[in-house]
């Protein structure tokens, strides 16, 4: 074990009595499985969201994800109202645990922006606009503004940049929303590289998405099964190959897309061929794999919760994301923790497998969050 990670685990052991009851101190499994979960919630303050406080304090979840709009309620009232309010909320959340939370957000710029100008945040531009310019200074300036805005809000993880290649400009969830830098993989790689480097310099965790590529799809995984077998090509891997090849090891988010040429049975999020075989072994990625939202219909409509969690973990997912913003389940964290525990107790998933994800997550937190705690 590397010395810094050993020090981190020793630090974790030293704070356990402050945060865990005696019975839980002896139960590292509850901590490890909790750290594998990232949960969305409703509320502008912790007082308005007692469920998430329990998820953090009692179920030891490793992260939360923030939204500005509540999709199930069709309401702009969710987690973000103003810079002052958001800063208070994130600080309140971090105070609930001695293990720093991954507080994440989708702040891509352009159409996918949770921190909107109308609520007092700086304006942002889309990846498509930056890709058209393909100017290092412009991309760096946009990334720097995003990173410093997130840092001021105590948000440590951005679900960006988008590494999808704009194969299909009419793609309803990527191309038509201006989320891809370009149809040229080299332009995508260049601009994602500048963005991740800038995030790193400012202490923000980057997340490349959506692996192995969502740019050629014709449908939206939020809404339905998405088959890219006939449209996907190897060039969509180039941005990942480029960045991983030069040392990128923060996080990669999976896509729920199905590609029979990569796996004849499962979509990427649930595919050992795609995640362990392609991303880990072939491309050499050693960082944290985050699922796209497990409540999106491409997964939720075709798999039961227990089956989806089992398949995702077996495939190699480290953090299971439940955004609670496609559908809303206030008990999703307790359900997921119970399922993970049951899978281990029944020896369907080994504790060694859980430990592997836990170590990756804690190593990521050590690099970015413990230094700020």
Q: Mind telling me the catalytic residues?
A: 222, 292
258, two tokens: 């199905």
Is the preceding peptide bond at 212 cis, omega within 30 degrees of 0? yes
Structure tokens of 5? Answer: 């990670």
How far lies 31's CA from each of 80, 195, 254, 322, 331, in Å? 28, 32, 24, 18, 18
The CA-based diameter of the chain, rounded to the nearest angstrom, is 57
Q: Calculate the CA 181 to chain-centre distance.
A: 20
* Opening angle at CA 212, ends 206 and 214, nearest 5: 90
d(CA 336, CA 339): 5
3-state secondary structure at position 109: strand
Return d(Cα 67, Cα 368) in angstroms, integer. Answer: 22
Q: How far is CA 232 from the centre of its chain?
A: 23
> CA neighbours within 13 Å on the CB side: how many for 234?
3
Terminal-residue alpha carbon distance, the chain: 23
CB 143 within 8 A of CB 201: no
Tell me which residue has tokens 């955004």. Answer: 323
Other CB atoms within 10 Å distance of the CB of residue 220:
17
């Amino acid at each position: 074990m590397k010395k810094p990670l050993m020090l981190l685990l020793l630090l974790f052991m030293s704070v356990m009595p402050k945060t865990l009851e005696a019975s839980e101190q002896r139960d590292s499994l509850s901590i490890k499985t909790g750290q594998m979960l990232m949960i969305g919630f409703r509320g502008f303050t912790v007082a308005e969201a007692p469920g998430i406080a329990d998820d953090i304090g009692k179920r030891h979840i490793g992260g939360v994800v923030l939204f500005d709009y509540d999709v199930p309620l069709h309401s702009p009232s969710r987690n973000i109202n103003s810079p002052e309010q958001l800063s208070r909320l994130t600080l309140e959340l971090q105070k609930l645990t001695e293990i720093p939370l991954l507080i994440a957000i989708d702040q891509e710029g352009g159409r996918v922006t949770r921190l909107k100008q109308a609520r007092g945040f700086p304006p942002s531009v889309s990846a498509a606009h930056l890709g058209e310019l393909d100017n290092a200074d412009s991309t760096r300036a946009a990334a720097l503004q995003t990173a410093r805005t997130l840092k001021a809000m105590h948000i440590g993880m951005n679900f960006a940049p988008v590494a999808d290649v704009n194969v299909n400009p009419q793609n309803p969830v990527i191309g038509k929303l201006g989320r891809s830098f370009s149809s040229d993989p080299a332009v995508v790689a260049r601009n994602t590289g500048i963005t991740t480097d800038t995030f790193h310099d400012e202490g923000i965790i980057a997340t490349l998405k959506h692996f192995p590529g969502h740019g050629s799809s014709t449908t939206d995984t939020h809404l339905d099964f998405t088959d890219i077998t006939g449209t996907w090509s190897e060039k969509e891997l180039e941005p990942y190959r480029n960045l991983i090849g030069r040392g990128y090891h923060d996080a990669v988010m999976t896509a729920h897309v199905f590609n029979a040429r990569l796996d004849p049975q499962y979509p990427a999020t649930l595919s050992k061929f795609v995640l362990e075989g392609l991303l880990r072994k072939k491309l050499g990625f050693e960082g944290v794999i985050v699922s796209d939202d497990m409540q999106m219909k491409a997964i939720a409509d075709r798999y039961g919760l227990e089956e989806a969690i089992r398949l995702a973990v077996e495939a190699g997912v480290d953090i299971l994301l439940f955004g609670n913003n496609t559908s809303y389940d206030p008990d999703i964290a307790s359900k997921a923790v119970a399922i993970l525990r049951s899978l281990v107790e029944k020896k369907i998933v080994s504790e060694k497998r859980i430990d592997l994800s836990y170590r990756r997550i804690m190593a990521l937190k050590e690099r970015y969050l413990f230094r700020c705690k």
